[in-house]
């Protein structure tokens, strides 16, 4: 008897609204349309290394479309090619990819579907190089994956950030304060740009445009002269002053990306208060941005991406990621994703649109009549 095709799904990196919607789409389509067996690797590449998995049935993934997080668990430190072998005073790393490859062979996996960001998909590319039939699905709230216009999770994060900023307008106006909202995004400013524009941020600071603190202070003071006695400042965690560096909150040596950014909001607030005399408060949204129920847009996008991933399995498009170009889905080589993060280009039309309505990016003075 000919055995059924068997595919495996894993989710790596940080959690993100919409992962379960992808797991649901891949599993249901694989079972309904192609009578495949589906297994879920638990806790990302950690499960692949230690052979931790579970079977996924149609009923297992029913009712998870709107559920945040991931039913499979995840890890943002496990890398089979650079795995922490010992945790003493000094971390020891080793290559355990051979163990992961052996587990894939033992499980008779015909394709490994990797749901993740640039780190997860870079590892997927290495596994494919070593003979694993792998396909990627782009997941991150940061929207910084090469080869795709958008990632699922981004819209949910922007919605949460924008709603939070909307709520801060009233308290900023009541107390005549400068309110700083620090959002996630690592070294890319997509969340800050979109949430800032959507919520009418007066100043938006992103990593792609180093800011001049004098320009920021001048904008805050200029608003006061125009009887606007409050200022909303949206700052990406990776934003930095001209000639300076991003603020590092802590270092996680066991992680593929050890530098954890954060704290720019408080550093900026202290400077603004000192140089302008205007009372300043900082709100750090943190993990709220990647928690909870995905937006309808992300549920739809995740379903489209998961469904397309199964089509790619059937067509043996291994070594590729499902990407988005405009409103179309495309196949993107995983090696393109491994080239690095996708940052906001200087020519991005939303930056131009924001400037045209008076938004300050901290890089030059703006005359408002």
Q: Is 43 an active-site residue? A: no
Q: In b/e form, how buried is each residue of 313-322, taking b as 16+ CB within 10 angstroms? A: beeebbbbbb
What does the DSSP 8-state code read for residue 2?
P
Give the Cα separation of 322 and 135 in Å (integer).
8
Q: How many CB atoms lie within 10 A of CB 105?
A: 11
Report whether 159 contacts 170 (CB < 8 A): no
Strand spans (E) along the chain: 6-11, 37-41, 53-56, 83-87, 91-94, 111-116, 134-138, 178-183, 203-205, 231-236, 248-251, 259-261, 280-284, 320-325, 328-333
Tokens of 332: 């993107």
Give the Cα separation of 38 and 345 in Å (integer).
40
Annotated catalytic residue, options 43, 142, 202, 298: 142
What residue spans define the domains of the chain?
6-152+294-337, 157-290+345-356
**Cα 313 from chain centroid (whole Å):** 25
pTM: 0.92
Q: Residue 167 contacts by C-beta under 8 Å, 6 or more apart in sequence?
A: none
pLDDT at position 254 is: 62
DSSP bridge partners of 200: none
Give the Cα separation of 240 and 245 in Å (integer).
5
CATH of domain 6-152+294-337: 3.40.50.450
- The domain defined by 157-290+345-356 carries CATH number 2.40.40.20: no
For the four alpha carbons of 170, 173, 174 and 179, in that order, the dihedral sign comes to positive
Give the Cα separation of 184 and 287 in Å (integer).
8
Domain 6-152+294-337 matches domain 157-290+345-356 at the CATH topology level: yes
Q: What are the pLDDT tens digits along the chain (369 aa)?
A: 567 899 999 999 989 999 999 999 999 999 999 999 999 999 999 999 999 999 999 999 999 999 999 999 998 889 999 988 766 667 788 999 999 999 999 999 999 999 999 999 999 999 999 999 999 999 999 999 999 999 999 999 999 999 999 999 888 888 778 899 999 988 999 999 999 999 999 999 999 999 999 999 999 888 877 778 889 999 999 999 998 887 787 776 666 666 677 789 999 989 999 988 888 899 999 888 888 999 999 999 999 999 999 999 999 999 999 999 999 999 999 999 989 899 999 899 999 999 999 999 998 877 776
């Amino acid at each position: 008897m000919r055995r059924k095709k068997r595919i495996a799904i894993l989710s790596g990196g940080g959690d993100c609204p919409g992962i379960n919607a992808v797991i649901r789409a891949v599993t249901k389509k694989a079972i309904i349309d192609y009578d495949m067996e589906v297994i879920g690797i638990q806790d990302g590449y950690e499960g692949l290394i230690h052979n931790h998995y579970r079977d996924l049935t149609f009923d297992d993934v029913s009712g998870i479309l709107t559920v945040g997080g991931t039913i499979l668990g995840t890890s943002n430190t496990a890398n089979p090619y650079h795995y922490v072998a010992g945790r003493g005073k000094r971390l020891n790393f080793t290559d355990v990819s051979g163990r992961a490859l052996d587990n894939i062979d033992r499980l008779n996996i015909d394709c490994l579907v990797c749901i993740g960001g640039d780190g997860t998909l870079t590892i997927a590319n290495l596994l494919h190089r070593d003979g694993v039939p792998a396909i990627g699905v782009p997941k991150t709230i940061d929207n910084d994956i090469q080869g795709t216009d958008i990632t699922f999770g981004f819209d949910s994060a922007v919605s949460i950030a924008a709603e939070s900023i909307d709520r801060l307008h009233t308290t900023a106006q009541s107390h005549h304060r400068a309110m700083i909202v620090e959002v996630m995004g690592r070294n890319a400013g997509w969340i800050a740009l979109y949430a800032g524009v959507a919520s009418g941020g007066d100043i938006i600071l992103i990593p792609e445009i180093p800011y001049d603190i004098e320009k920021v202070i001048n904008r805050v003071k200029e608003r006061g002269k125009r009887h606007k006695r409050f200022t909303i400042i949206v700052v990406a965690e990776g934003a930095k002053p001209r000639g300076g560096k991003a603020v590092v909150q802590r270092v996680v040596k066991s992680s593929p990306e050890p530098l954890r950014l954060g704290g720019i909001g408080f550093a900026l607030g202290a400077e603004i208060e000192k140089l302008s005399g205007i009372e300043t408060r900082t709100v750090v949204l943190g993990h709220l941005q990647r928690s909870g129920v995905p937006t309808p847009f992300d549920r739809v996008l995740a379903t489209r991406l998961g469904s397309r991933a199964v089509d790619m399995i059937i067509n043996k498009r291994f070594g590729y990621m499902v990407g988005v170009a405009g409103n179309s889905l495309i196949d993107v080589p995983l090696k393109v994703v491994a080239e690095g993060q996708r940052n906001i280009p200087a020519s991005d039309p939303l930056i131009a649109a924001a400037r045209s309505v008076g938004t300050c990016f901290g890089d030059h003075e703006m005359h408002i009549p």
